[in-house]
Amino acid sequence: MVPVARTWAELGFKDVPETRVEVPKGAELFARLPPEQQRQILGPAAFAAYRAGAVKLEDFVGRKRDPHWGTMRHARSLKGILGEQEARQWRQRGLSKRATWALPRVVGGAGPPLSPHPVDRLIRDLLQTGRGSTQTEVEQIIQRLVTAPFPTSQPHLVKRLHEEQWLATTEAEYIEDLRRAIRHPTARLAIYVRRGGHIAVTLTATDEVVPPSRRGARALPELLVVYSADRGIIISGYQISSLATTGVPKNARWLR
């Protein structure tokens, strides 16, 4: 926050040149950003609506009154601003090729570069264009996920052991369970966009890939593996009772 100081004239010094710095408003600064950086910040749907003039940046700022803390601000969703039906239309436009022409490899230099791997680019292209996938492309995606690194596997395993989804499992065994789930013949494969990121997931029956001796007391029916096509890494792997308990959206594209 920047304090608003009184001018020299207001302080009684009429002959002193004004030195107060005029700070542009947030909406003005945001409007100066490259379109690709605006899209990365807002997400595809909100960016499409913003570019079309359907919403203003200030529309995303919500305010509520807390009896203890006073006025508090929070981010409003596109659905909260425009309603479910219109927000759904903007989500569809946001995923169209026309709305995503500016998707960068590097977003304004502020974040890590998008993975240049051909299959990661393939996943992003399928989501951006909405075109159908071939069987060969599906197999390429599966193979990419099977061989992808999982740099945060150790803390994820600790969490799953604490939740009693797995029992007496090493990090190597946990990773192998996830890879076995990805390549299993019955595994389902979906892709979707979440918070501006391109995601691929596989869904497999837990008892098909985790041995009974290593299933925890609270093991769940299905095993979800989550992969970032922007970063080229597995970002999570855990058991679920149903898709409704996950962040997989209802409009996810199931490739198999």
Reported as a single tens digit per residue, the pLDDT across 92-145 is 777 654 444 334 443 344 456 789 999 999 999 999 989 999 999 999 999 999
Using CA atoms, how far apart are residues 48 and 100, in angstroms rounded to an integer? 9
Q: Check: pTM over 0.75? Answer yes or no.
A: no
Give per-residue pLDDT as tens, 204-249.
999 999 999 999 999 999 999 999 999 999 999 999 999 988 889 9
Q: Is the pLDDT of residue 19 over 80?
A: no
Per-residue confidence (pLDDT) for residue 61, from 0 to 100: 83
Segments of the chain assigned E as strands: 61-66, 70-75, 188-194, 197-205, 222-228, 233-240, 253-254
Per-residue confidence (pLDDT) for residue 21, from 0 to 100: 62
Sequence-ordered list of residues with C-beta below 8 angstroms from that of 250, at least 6 positions apart, any chain:
none
Using CA atoms, how far apart are residues 121 and 102, in angstroms rounded to an integer? 14
63 beta partners = 73
Q: Of 9-23, 31-45, 148-162, 196-210, where does mean pLDDT reach its minimum?
A: 9-23
Bridge pairing between strands 70-75 and 61-66: antiparallel
74 beta partners = 62
Per-residue confidence (pLDDT) for residue 197, from 0 to 100: 86
Sequence-ordered list of residues with C-beta below 8 angstroms from that of 233, at least 6 positions apart, any chain:
148, 149, 150, 151, 227
Per-residue confidence (pLDDT) for residue 192, from 0 to 100: 94
Average pLDDT, the chain: 84
